[in-house]
């Protein structure tokens, strides 16, 4: 399985600066991304700073991520 890798291209509320590298979160996020999407009206996804896709995670607007191939 290939884990997608992203660069943060827009600010988020979790104090991860623009340019931070993050990865798909591969575990259950207990509805956090869904909640943030509903509350803000902007699609959010859960990502992690761990290259293995593990905990801890944070949510970020999907539009603030640039996939690195």
Domain ranges of the chain: 5-68
- My answer on whether omega of the bond before 49 falls inside 30° of 0, hence cis, is no
Q: How far apart are CA 49 and CA 22, in angstroms?
A: 5
Tokens of 44: 């959010």
Alpha carbon distance 35, 56 (integer Å): 17
pTM over 0.85: yes
Rounded to an integer, the average pLDDT of 1-29 is 89
Mean pLDDT of 11-36: 90
- Torsions phi, psi of 47, nearest 5? -135, 170
| pLDDT band at residue 12 under the 50/70/90 scheme | low
* Direct distance between the N- and C-terminal alpha carbons of the chain, in angstroms, rounded to an integer: 15
């Amino acid at each position: 399985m290939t884990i997608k890798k992203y660069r943060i291209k827009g600010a988020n509320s979790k104090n991860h600066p623009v340019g931070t590298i993050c990865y798909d979160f591969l575990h259950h996020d207990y509805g956090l991304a869904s909640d943030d999407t509903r509350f803000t009206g902007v699609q959010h996804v859960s990502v992690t700073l761990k290259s293995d896709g593990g905990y801890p995670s944070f949510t970020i607007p999907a539009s603030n991520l640039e996939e690195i191939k």
